[in-house]
């Protein structure tokens, strides 16, 4: 599990499992900060052709996706 389509429009996390604490950096901030993420998530989104899709992600890919979805909500770490 892990490959994400090149573009996700309007992504929404529809399920999540196995919460853990980690530290992340961000190009918007200096240094790293503690945050909470989920090891496994399922994301619903529209692809480049505006077709609704759903994808399960885990590990590092899930963490990155959660980080970027936070940005869409105006959240930084």
Distance between first and last Cα of the chain: 25
List the chain residues with pLDDT less than 50: none
Active-site residues, by number, are 68
Please tell me the number of Cα atoms within 13 Å of 47 on its side-chain side: 9
- Does 3.90.45.10 match the CATH number of domain 9-72? yes
Task: Look at residue 48 in the predicted model and tell me its pLDDT.
Answer: 87
């Amino acid at each position: 599990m892990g490959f994400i389509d090149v573009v996700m429009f309007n992504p929404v996390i529809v399920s999540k499992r196995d919460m853990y604490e980690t530290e992340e950096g961000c190009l918007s901030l200096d240094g790293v900060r503690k945050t909470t993420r989920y090891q496994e998530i399922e994301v619903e989104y529209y692809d480049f052709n505006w077709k609704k899709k759903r994808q399960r992600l885990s590990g590092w890919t899930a963490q990155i996706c959660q980080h970027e979805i936070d940005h869409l909500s105006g959240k930084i770490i």
